[in-house]
Structure 1
């Protein structure tokens, strides 16, 4: 606990929240707020109230997505404590070392200091594609449209006991709309046809969006729906002021974004005891960037080699297409083994492509075409049995099997490769990843107690399908890998009173290495760099412990948790093994299991009614998250830990409209909290992030039932600030730090009409 007291400046937001809680405890909490208990499926793989789970969860529902004008996963993480999404500016280069900045867009979630492929992302129970980065290319994880999503469930801490590999750092589950969401009437009946039209504009990227849904009944046993959405935007704005077309540029590069999405669903109920959902989803994204920030400063200066290689023009594009087809069947039965059964089969194809062209002064121009694809089919069978045990106790047992098989491929081609490489080639060979798992969980519950143990066994295999275009040129053939893992968990929840409960949980997690980490190979003789495979990589492992407190009083809700985690065999990409980077002594890099780490911290969130005044209800919302991580091998801080953040909102609510003011304070990321050697090349040091406070003002007008207009002014004071996740790897000596700033003051407007 003494570790957490090393942040004197961070005591300010803690004191602010503590003072607020003391004020609320003095009596204002007696004002009621109309809220519904949140039902989640991700915390236990079955429907359950979130406040009955012995684990920390966040639910961002339909109303919050609309009211907060959440457009993408970056917006989604905005007010979740200890959760961030990296979005670096598009300042990549077509060739050269460390040239992938911004290629991955919204790169993925970081939860409590663990990010990337350590956080599992799913849509309707189907795993979303993983991120991939190698050399100058990076493919992110923002492969879905929130226009199709009704609810997002985020589970903190290791989820491997239920979901296996990739859930070591947590889970983010996107649950899409169903026909009933548009057909349900207030009296419980369903209309024959319904739908929604939504339009929006966002000033931070000049984004224009339009989405439409139509749903209908086909008799008493069938319903269907179709949703289509489109968005057009430019680059995310910043507070840079230099607009020159060269490397000194700090304003955004010209960029054109195109996002399109489609969701079709059919829901069948042949009998009252069974339900089948057939779904097809397609998401397509395209970005074209004019990389003015890559151009050389005119007039050209330097030696002959520098002048010959000067970039005169550079452009890049990123395309992604994901198609998903899913069948989800559920039955209510009455047997000794189960009273509910669910079967899921999903087919998914996700293909990404990055193109780049570079016009050099006198040297030959370069062109790159890089592709990455995951073709996955997933199947699962799950059963659940509930029974009464007597003496006020009941038991629910959930068990099942999961099977996932994915073919993962990549291809690099282009014009004028860097020696000794010859196009086309593959950074890793075509690989088939197979995972088979058995899992089980039991919950014993009474009026006061819930005890939830669980265990999962995973068997994973990475099989090399072909050496073509990999060996040669790789120095040695690729190798396959197989292994297994046991992931236990134990959760206990105690209901001290009807309003207050405490919980604790222990969980073990793991993450298997991927094909690129095992067999990835790269050689650049001109820059004296070589990356070699490591087929002996072991899975990452974790042990996490969490203690939490929940309060559910009339007009007041509080969730607080402290957590600690120990991690071993952490996989670190591109570890320098030897070499100085000169002729005869190239730098040799390899992915290694070298790190042990510890992460600990705490978080709280909630809301409270402050009473009625001026004809409406006053409500406050608050959240705070803080974490600290240490590399146990080196004693240095973990760079993946985000600075503490506090948010405080004040809302005025009336029947037909509401007004809300939100404040967000982000603590600084000082030099003593950064391991610069892991981010930038010595003797440079990492750019440090100062503290910042921003304000947003928003309002919603409910014009009539089914018609809502929402508007907001974001960054009301036009504050210039940086986010730590976006600047990692940026040297303190840089002249273009302003290119990494967040958008200044801007407007958002959206209109939603239900019919």
Structure 2
């Protein structure tokens, strides 16, 4: 595997270490006597309302996974961290690219807004039908996170486009989280996960005084393919063991916090992450009686996938003593993510043009490279004010400005191994090229929300205005030959919200809310064109796409007491102009026809109406001071009203149970059960999907505070070595009911996770 990490981290990481390396001395010089131990507060969330609030006081379903839970469960990824959220899934493709995006209550991909410290995560780019290129939504190492917050339902009234299905907020650690009132702190964590034979390491140093606080975190991970329950180690569609894979990742996070006085707080965040994986794709495709695998001439298929992400964020909080506002928050940021997929194929006994399916006498090699780059540059302004105008009120208002720049390119060269002749003309296309030209999308959002108190009753109206414009730019790699051209597109929308919360007691709240959501089509859905003349399929853009809109109703109850708690919700989400990829029928004017043959043509189109409804419940009981029991359950149904067909993005019924035993502060243990019903109500019109059976998986975890500065966490997952499938993975991979080796898509068997954490 190429050792891109061997020379040390690069780019922003050098800047992080250079800046942060000079700060400890300055910070120590500014320090005063250590602060008193901070009083432990109830957990708060910020993503749901864009300001700090207790989760129990939010009119809607919001949950948080804390750093402590991430550590105790031995999580190495976001999928591990969210495994106990019954209405959340992370579809994964075990053939190559792994977890790619988040599904909340049946809504996924770019309809769920993901934020890292308030900065949008890069878009998900689907590999489509090739599985040779993709761009996943990248976040920091889970070791860098202090909390993951999940907000269900449309949140466009506060966040605008892309929040039509919910918001996932990642809050990274600040210096104060590690200092805990001290002036200096350092530590780290070492971990091992048998599921992918990975080793993980994290180290940090933090300093703090009256005015300056600094933090530098370094993380590194190295591992192999994730295990499954397959045993047939062969090449081709009969393979059931995982594709061999090696990966390596590095992450650097630096923060400088400057507080010159009580009114001002400045924070600079610098992050760099890079990773690379090398795969031997001995199995890539699926097959069924109606859709056989046709790539019979490919005898070797390897790839190298790399990702680089840089993030720079400047935050300023201004809280004057007396003004027409209580707080002014300003966030200026830029983030750039680059994905580079390289493929190396050997094709044997193929045609003179190196076909993947046609038999011949030639042997050749095919080298492909796909690059995708997206840059976000934005400015967020937020003001808060508490006042009394007849009634107590808490108002927030602000503006969001965002420019997203997108660029992609494709390069292919094939070589006849007998003659040594190479060519950049492949399956009728001339490379390098681009499926769509580079371009940008500008977004403006203006929002206001006011929480009005009537004694125990709170009414929260909200309103947001959004406008967007996507604009293609000149790109020499984009050259259409079929008369189609890339187009610009714009739109605007107003998203209202009305929430009500009634406090039955200090711990018990009833709520109801009405939300409207909005998402404009992205650049790729409008302007991407791709043709495969060999296998005769195509992807075509749709300049006539309309923005998606939604209406959501939710009612619920929340109780959070000292000994027990419960959270219950019922909801219905109605989507109009739902954007989905469909196969165009024969005779459609947008279907690609070449040589008198109609290609299987895919296009994003607006479905008329989609309905998703369901309910979920979560609860806990502090049975004794040492024993805590908890549970969760979620059920969701969804279908396309125009066709009556079910939505395949809906998860089966899922539940989780847990019992945590903490007899002292020095040690504890936990048992967890994750279960799901079998999947039914499937739309088989394009794929005869494998029906996943129900399952129940038991996990155990234990932790030991060996001494105040040393902690050991141990997790034993899938204790009884259960063979099971996740519907999200089956759907994501397109696994058919007639797959010859379904065990390829099984989840890992019994595995352990061990970590040692030290703090000084």
Deviates more, 1:512-521 or 1:134-143: 134-143
Distance 1:143 1:475, change over 3 A: farther
Three-state SS of the structure 2 residue aligned to 1:181 is helix
Q: Alpha-carbon deviations, 1:69-113, whole Å to 9, x = none?
A: 2221111221112100012212xxxxxxxxxxx33x211110000
Task: State the alpha-carbon separation in 1 of the partners of residues 740 and 40 from structure 2.
Answer: 49
Three-state SS of the structure 1 residue aligned to 2:685 is helix
Residue 558 of structure 1 is matched in structure 2 by 566
Could you tell me which runs of 5 or more consecutive residues in structure 1 were left unpaired when the two chains were aligned: 1-33, 91-101, 185-189, 297-304
Distance 1:250 1:335, change over 3 A: same
Shift of 1:247: 2.8
Residue 531 of structure 2 is matched in structure 1 by 523
Task: State the alpha-carbon separation in 1 of the partners of residues 482 and 719 from structure 2.
Answer: 54
Residue 386 of structure 1 is matched in structure 2 by 386
Residue 490 of structure 1 is matched in structure 2 by 498
Within 5 Å, which residues of 2 pair with 1:233-252? 233-252=223-242
Residue 180 of structure 1 is matched in structure 2 by 176
Task: State the alpha-carbon separation in 2 of the partners of residues 582 and 675 from structure 1.
Answer: 30
Structure 2 residue 197 is the aligned partner of structure 1 residue 201: no
Deviates more, 1:712-721 or 1:65-74: 65-74
Three-state SS of the structure 1 residue aligned to 2:343 is strand
Structure 2 residue 142 is the aligned partner of structure 1 residue 129: no
Task: State the alpha-carbon separation in 1 of the partners of residues 192 and 56 from structure 2.
Answer: 36
Structure 2 residue 271 is the aligned partner of structure 1 residue 281: yes
Within 5 Å, which residues of 2 pair with 1:400-479? 400-416=398-414, 418-473=426-481, 475-479=483-487
Task: State the alpha-carbon separation in 1 of the partners of residues 323 and 386 from structure 2.
Answer: 10
Task: State the alpha-carbon separation in 2 of the partners of residues 706 and 621 from structure 1.
Answer: 29
- Which of 305, 308, 312 is the equivalent residue of 1:321? 308
- Which of 30, 51, 56 is the equivalent residue of 1:51? 56
Three-state SS of the structure 2 residue aligned to 1:399 is strand
Deviates more, 1:659-668 or 1:361-370: 361-370
Residue 603 of structure 1 is matched in structure 2 by 616
Residue 376 of structure 1 is matched in structure 2 by 376
Shift of 1:68: 1.6
Residue 694 of structure 1 is matched in structure 2 by 697
Three-state SS of the structure 1 residue aligned to 2:349 is coil
Task: State the alpha-carbon separation in 2 of the partners of residues 35 and 660 from structure 1.
Answer: 23
C-alpha contact (below 8 Å) 1:663/1:696 kept by paired residues: yes
C-alpha contact (below 8 Å) 1:325/1:346 kept by paired residues: yes
Deviates more, 1:232-241 or 1:573-582: 573-582
Q: Alpha-carbon deviations, 1:211-240, whole Å to 9, x = none?
A: 0010012x4200101000001111111000
C-alpha contact (below 8 Å) 1:575/1:592 kept by paired residues: no
Structure 2 residue 164 is the aligned partner of structure 1 residue 154: no
Structure 2 residue 332 is the aligned partner of structure 1 residue 339: no
Task: State the alpha-carbon separation in 2 of the partners of residues 471 and 582 from structure 1.
Answer: 18
Shift of 1:447: 4.2
Deviates more, 1:473-482 or 1:79-88: 473-482
C-alpha contact (below 8 Å) 1:295/1:312 kept by paired residues: no
Task: State the alpha-carbon separation in 2 of the partners of residues 699 and 36 from structure 1.
Answer: 25
Residue 26 of structure 2 is matched in structure 1 by none
Structure 2 residue 81 is the aligned partner of structure 1 residue 76: yes
Within 5 Å, which residues of 2 pair with 1:217-228? 217=208, 219-228=209-218
Shift of 1:650: 1.2
Residue 161 of structure 2 is matched in structure 1 by 165
If the length of structure 2 is used for normalisation, what is the TM-score? 0.87
Shift of 1:474: 5.3
C-alpha contact (below 8 Å) 1:245/1:295 kept by paired residues: no
Q: Alpha-carbon deviations, 1:342-394, whole Å to 9, x = none?
A: 1000011110010001101134321110010011111011111111346xx41
Shift of 1:446: 4.5
Three-state SS of the structure 1 residue aligned to 2:672 is strand
Task: State the alpha-carbon separation in 2 of the partners of residues 322 and 474 from structure 1.
Answer: 35
Distance 1:383 1:429, change over 3 A: same
Shift of 1:327: 0.3
C-alpha contact (below 8 Å) 2:619/2:632 kept by paired residues: yes
Distance 1:446 1:213, change over 3 A: farther
Structure 2 residue 117 is the aligned partner of structure 1 residue 108: no
Three-state SS of the structure 1 residue aligned to 2:283 is helix
Task: State the alpha-carbon separation in 1 of the partners of residues 40 and 178 from structure 2.
Answer: 21
Three-state SS of the structure 2 residue aligned to 1:108 is coil
Task: State the alpha-carbon separation in 1 of the partners of residues 741 and 373 from structure 2.
Answer: 34
Task: State the alpha-carbon separation in 2 of the partners of residues 292 and 525 from structure 1.
Answer: 24
Three-state SS of the structure 2 residue aligned to 1:466 is coil
Residue 753 of structure 1 is matched in structure 2 by 758
Task: State the alpha-carbon separation in 1 of the partners of residues 86 and 549 from structure 2.
Answer: 24
Shift of 1:664: 1.6
Task: State the alpha-carbon separation in 2 of the partners of residues 418 and 523 from structure 1.
Answer: 11
Structure 2 residue 119 is the aligned partner of structure 1 residue 119: no
Task: State the alpha-carbon separation in 1 of the partners of residues 323 and 179 from structure 2.
Answer: 36
Shift of 1:630: 1.1
Structure 2 residue 643 is the aligned partner of structure 1 residue 634: yes
Three-state SS of the structure 1 residue aligned to 2:93 is coil
Shift of 1:35: 9.0
C-alpha contact (below 8 Å) 2:245/2:278 kept by paired residues: yes
Shift of 1:699: 0.7
C-alpha contact (below 8 Å) 1:474/1:521 kept by paired residues: no
C-alpha contact (below 8 Å) 2:56/2:559 kept by paired residues: no
Within 5 Å, which residues of 2 pair with 1:256-271? 256-271=246-261
If the length of structure 1 is used for normalisation, what is the TM-score? 0.88
Three-state SS of the structure 2 residue aligned to 1:147 is helix
C-alpha contact (below 8 Å) 1:294/1:311 kept by paired residues: no
Could you tell me which runs of 5 or more consecutive residues in structure 2 were left unpaired when the two chains were aligned: 1-38, 287-292, 351-363, 415-424
Shift of 1:527: 2.4
Residue 512 of structure 2 is matched in structure 1 by 504
Residue 301 of structure 1 is matched in structure 2 by none
CA RMSD of aligned residues (A): 2.0
Shift of 1:607: 1.2
Residue 749 of structure 2 is matched in structure 1 by 744
